[in-house]
Amino acid sequence: MKQQAAVLGVGQTRHRSKRTDVSMAGLCREAADRAVADAGLTLADIDAVVVGKAPDLFEGVMMPELYLADALGAVGKPVLRVHTAGSVGGATGNVAASLVQAGVHGRVLALAFEKQSESNAMWALSIAPPFSIPVVAGAGGYFAPHIRAYIRRSGAPSHIGALVAVKDRRNGALNPYAHLQQGDITLEKVQASPMLWDPVRYDETCPSSDGACAVVIGDAAAAAAAPGPVAWIRATSMRSEPTMFAGKDHVNPAAGRECVAALWRQAGITDPINQIDVAEIYVPFSWYEPMWLENLGFAAAGEGWRLTEAGETAIGGKIPVNPSGGVLSSNPIGASGLLRFAESALQVMGKAGDHQVPGARVALGHAYGGGSQFFSMWVVASTPG
């Protein structure tokens, strides 16, 4: 019998390209302290910690949660370390939720981080293991051909990606934690920025950030004791498929479609665009907004770009996407998924500040990773449902 679980508190760091003022432990502690304070708790109230981050090669530390146990107040407690590629932040939230839903713990801290300035992510992503297809192009080079396939399939006009970038960067300027603060960015500036991986321009690409995010998840009793509003976890879902296989659809992956179908089923959602008030979606390259709108069922295949073009994904639109500024404004890779989950919770708690979507009651948090193959998602709401 699944127990109710809710987000009691959220914390994140000020994301920057280089947080030279803190160690990895200091970075993580900054987010953890803010999350437990937001929940009206201290680290001593936490029963277990779930740590998530992307490849250890990104910092050059093997299983850093071992060294972080002290900084996270986890000594004498259970610590789980999750790693599911770029989706890991979402998986971290879902695993923490499952510990509460299973009745194993009452209050769990989910924490995800990446301190990219400690190593070189491009190098880490470009190692060619034996018997594997070498990419040697980092993430942008890997995803650009799939974006081109999307444009060809959907007939989307070429400025859609730039529209997403303008919206997300302007949203990011409403979020004091966001890495990039570009409130005055324009379509012309984005379109004049250098082409990195055709059709992805510099301004349509996520930054490389140092940052951490933490979320406290508790059971019904902990939610009742919380000092402020909580975000009830209505559904969680994860799906995986191989990087490559005969018939793989890289533009509209089956794993994403099946993941969200299970999510909507659990949450009782039959008409996503009308029942979801706001979505925090993992968009590391601008064009992934329309692509994921379709994969998630907010639009029919080939139609997602129309929502973007009509401004329906802006705050005040039919389905606001990434009011926080999203991955395009802050990208501490391992934390990026948990940031999506945390921002969706902030929205239904009514605590998103200047980037609050008015009246948001039901929200989607989404993350993906690997070669569009690992998906994790949740739906949070202002009431238990």
Of the candidate residues 40, 149, 153, 258, the single one contacting other proteins (CB under 8 A): 258
Q: Is residue 333 near other proteins by the rule CB under 8 A? A: no
Residue number, 152 or 265, with CB nearest to other proteins: 265
- The correct pick among 46, 213, 231, 259 for binding other proteins (CB under 8 A) is 259
| 2 near other proteins (CB under 8 A) | yes
Q: Please identify, using beta-carbon distances, which residue of 103 and 157 lies nearer to other proteins.
A: 103
Q: Would you say 220 or 273 has its CB closer to other proteins?
A: 220
Task: Tell me how crowded residue 384 is: count the other CB atoms within 10 A of its CB.
Answer: 13
Sort strands 278-280 and 374-381 into parallel, antiparallel or unpaired: unpaired
Least Å from the CB of residue 118 to other proteins:
8
Residues 6+ apart with CB under 8 A from 305: 154, 156, 157, 160, 290
* Choice between 90 and 211, CB closer to other proteins: 90
At closest approach, how far in Å is the CB of 85 from other proteins?
6
- State how far the Cα of 309 lies from the Cα of 288, in Å rounded to an integer: 14
Q: Which stretch binds other proteins (CB under 8 A): 37-45, 97-105, 280-288, 356-364?
A: 97-105
- The single residue among 99, 215, 276, 335 that binds other proteins, judged by CB under 8 A, is 99
In sequence order, the β-bridge partners of residue 52 are: 82, 112
CB 384 within 8 A of CB 4: yes
List the interface residues with other proteins, window 19-58 (CB under 8 A): 23-24, 54-58
- Residue 167's H or E segment, with its range, is helix 160-172
Q: Could you tell me the two tokens for 119?
A: 């190593």
**Of all helices (H) and strands (E), which one includes residue 90?**
helix 88-101
Name the residue among 355, 241, 263 with its Cα closest to residue 12.
Answer: 355
| 71 exposure class (CB count in 10 Å sphere: 0-12, 13-18, 19+) | middle
Sole window of 93-101, 138-146, 201-209, 291-299 interacting with other proteins (rule: CB under 8 A): 93-101
CA–CA separation, 371 and 250 (whole Å): 8
Out of 4, 16, 40, 83, the only residue in the binding site for other proteins (CB under 8 A) is: 83
Name the nearest CA neighbour of 226 among 337, 338, 52, 384: 384
Under the binding rule (CB under 8 A), the answer on residue 76 touching other proteins is yes
Specify the residue, 62 or 158, whose C-beta has the smaller distance to other proteins.
62
Which string of x and - marks every residue 210-239 that binds other proteins (by CB under 8 A)? ----------------------------xx
Nearest-10 Cα torsion for 218, 222, 223, 226: -120
One of 243, 318, 356, 361 touching other proteins (CB under 8 A)? 243
Q: Which residues in 100-257 belong to E strands, given as ranges?
A: 107-115, 195-197, 200-201, 210-218, 231-240
The number of C-alpha atoms within 13 Å of 36 and in the hemisphere containing its C-beta is: 20
Using CB under 8 A as the binding rule, whether residue 384 contacts other proteins is answered as no
* Min separation Cβ 93 and other proteins, Å: 12
Q: Which is nearer to other proteins, 8 or 125 (CB)?
A: 125
Cβ neighbours of residue 180 closer than 8 Å, sequence gap 6 or more: 169, 172, 207, 325, 328, 329, 330
H or E stretch covering 10: strand 6-12
179 is a site residue for other proteins (CB under 8 A): no
Interface with other proteins (CB under 8 A), residue from 17, 18, 63, 176: 63
The footprint of other proteins on residues 112-171 (CB under 8 A) is 118, 124-125, 127, 129-132
Q: Is 181 in the site for other proteins (CB under 8 A)?
A: no
Query: Helices marked H in 173-238 — which ranges?
Result: 187-192, 220-225
Q: Which of 181, 254, 306, 351 binds other proteins (CB under 8 A)?
A: 254
Q: Is 81 in the site for other proteins (CB under 8 A)?
A: yes
Which residues here bind other proteins, judged by CB under 8 A? 1-2, 23-24, 54-64, 66-70, 74-85, 91, 95, 98-99, 101-104, 118, 124-125, 127, 129-132, 238-243, 245, 254-255, 258-259, 370-371, 373-374
